[in-house]
Amino acid sequence: MIPPDVHSPMPISPYLETALNAAHAAGDLLRAHFGTALEVNEFAAHDIKLDLDVRSQELITQRLLERFPDHAIYGEEGIAGNQQSEFQWIVDPIDGTVNFFYGIPHFCISIALRQRGEIILGVIYDPMRDELWQVERGGTATLNGKEIHVSKRDQLKDATLSIGFAKSNTTIAAGMPLLEKFVSRARKCRMMGSAALDLAYVACGRLDAYIESSVSLWDVAAGKLLVETAGGKFEMAPRTDTPDKMSVRASSGLLDLS
């Protein structure tokens, strides 16, 4: 069941109810293991793959497919379910794995649902702060049940931006000029380590923009609907040099980011 303090200003669908329950279950798992010795499946040059990533996605997958056995799962840790279904759940079981591994309490679970290619639901849950963002297409974007909106700041000098880039030679070459460009124009630039939380922060006005040169769909699917429903602007373009990666700009829509 959804915890009693989690509520919505409107009745929620069975899809959202199930996503919320899955996000909370995964959040309980991550919170229980935060700060403990962790099993590492792979140390990459600039990334870490944990056994807990896999366990979190398996838990989410179990919750989703128990309720909707004919749906598809597309996640960072693999696919499951009926890949021919018109309904596809897009899952990042720990967005911010490196933060998690190093004991930095800035990470989240991201779950989105798309129907025939259109995102219709998004949930982002930060288990350390117990902050839950949720949205359904045509509904209201909320944080812990309260409606949210993007920032009203319209001057770059007053704005805080998150600039991110994956650490390949190509994305470093693309990202460093962006950071250099905005760090002297904005009030502050940040690199926070969780794309989904960056988008949630844009949606509720904590950040004014998020710019990333190379992300995966599971990083941004839930956040896209959140930002747009909260009144913001979301731009996404596929990268020609890296399959399944894209560049993203999300903002209030009031800033000149050219």
Q: Does domain 156-251 fall into CATH 3.10.450.40?
A: no
pLDDT one digit per residue (tens) for the chain, 258 residues: 444 344 444 578 999 999 999 999 999 999 999 988 777 776 665 667 888 999 999 999 999 999 999 999 999 999 999 999 999 999 999 999 999 999 999 999 999 999 999 999 999 999 999 999 999 999 999 999 999 999 999 999 999 999 887 666 676 776 778 888 898 899 999 999 999 999 999 999 999 999 998 899 999 999 999 999 999 999 999 887 777 889 899 999 999 998
CA 56, distance to chain mean position in Å, is: 15
**Are 14-147 and 156-251 the same fold in CATH?**
no
Q: How far apart are the C-alpha atoms of 98 and 87, rounded to whole Å? A: 30
Angle in degrees, 0-180, between the axes of helices 217-229 and 195-203, rounded to the nearest 10? 0
Report the alpha-carbon distance of residue 221 to residue 196 in Å, rounded.
8
User: What is residue 82's predicted lDDT score, i.e. its pLDDT?
Assistant: 97
What distance in Å separates the CA atoms of residue 123 and residue 125, rounded to the nearest whole number?
A: 7
pLDDT at 5: 42
- Residue 156 and residue 133: Cα distance in Å, rounded? 26
Indicate the helix (H) or strand (E) that contains 26.
helix 14-33
Domain residue ranges of the chain, discontinuous segments joined by +: 14-147, 156-251
pLDDT value for 239: 83
Look at residues 144, 153, 138 and name the one whose alpha carbon lies nearest to residue 225: 138
Q: DSSP strand E in 63-164: where?
A: 72-75, 78-81, 87-95, 108-115, 118-126, 131-136, 142-143, 146-147, 160-164
CA-CA distance, 221 to 219, in Å (whole number)? 6
CATH code given to domain 14-147: 3.30.540.10
Are 204 and 148 in contact by the 8 Å Cβ rule? The answer is yes
Helices (H), 188-236: 195-203, 217-229
Q: Residue 194: helix, strand or coil by DSSP? A: coil
Q: State the pLDDT at residue 8.
A: 46
Give the closest residue to 137 by CA, choosing from 154, 158, 168, 112: 112
